Amino acid sequence: MAEKTVRVEVEAGVAVMTVSRPERVNAFDLDMLKALDAACDAVETNSDVRVAIITGEGKSFSAGGDIKAWAGMKPEEFGHQWVRYGHRVFERLATLRVPLIAALNGHALGGGLELAACADVRIAESQIRIGLPETGLGMVPGWSGTQRLVKRFGAQIVRRMVLGGEMFSAEEARANGLVDHVVETASALAEARTYAARVATRGPAALEISKLMIAVANGEDNGAGVEALGSILVAKTGDLKEGVAAFSEKRPAAFKGEW
């Protein structure tokens, strides 16, 4: 079942999303993309969730897109059903209302690194490798590898991975800003839970608004964040209450400039 390929477990305000296709090193097919989309729904609609973690089942975080899942697609199918849909799902993950921590328990390659880049904080185990090997297959990163990664990590490090095919160890990745913390093997999820518990003690409204403002400052936002902030502010005003009441009562609104 598709939903079993991305599990969501919530405890003490922390949602853990586990990508679970270990027999294919957690490589994504369309069903997994749909399951990740559903996992985002589960997190977004659960008001008890203060922070989220994404990790992988087994020894890999994610090897990215499963070649068997897309290799036989027609070009238009590949562009629309695979690349554009995956891009939308990853964008949802990157713009979750709550802070997101990636617990990199294994290699994060191609789409796996693009998945990790959606997180606000990345905690990597010392044995992992990170890279964008797509051009070695004659293709390009398609799930924001040349967009979000450049904005978050800088163009030169992305050039080295995409054009030169360079792979980085966890320590090299930390030195280049690709991950935030390096921990011992088999401890990424535990460390992520500890970090998440600290985040969960902070003001949830302040966290959500701060995350939006940081995205805008970093050039990642297409205007949705600004409109969300404005809408949240307006929703609390007396003027909106008056406008809705006037509409319901079929009368002219008497706005007073009330916040």
Catalytic residue among 57, 91, 125, 134: 134
Bridge partners of residue 16, in order along the sequence? 9, 53
Catalytic residue among 114, 125, 191, 208: 114
Q: For residues 44 and 228, is the Cβ–Cβ distance under 8 A?
A: no
CA–CA separation, 55 vs 222, rounded Å? 27
HSE-CB at 248 with a 13 A cutoff on CA atoms is 6
Please indicate whether residue 134 is annotated as part of the active site: yes
CA–CA separation, 257 vs 229, rounded Å? 18
Kindly report the length of the chain.
259
102 SS3 class: strand
* DSSP notation for 246-258: HHHHTS-------
Q: For residues 115 and 132, is the Cβ–Cβ distance under 8 A?
A: no
By DSSP bridging, strand 181-183 and strand 121-125 are: parallel
CA–CA separation, 142 vs 216, rounded Å? 22
Please indicate whether residue 208 is annotated as part of the active site: no
Looking at the annotation, which residues are catalytic?
Answer: 114, 134
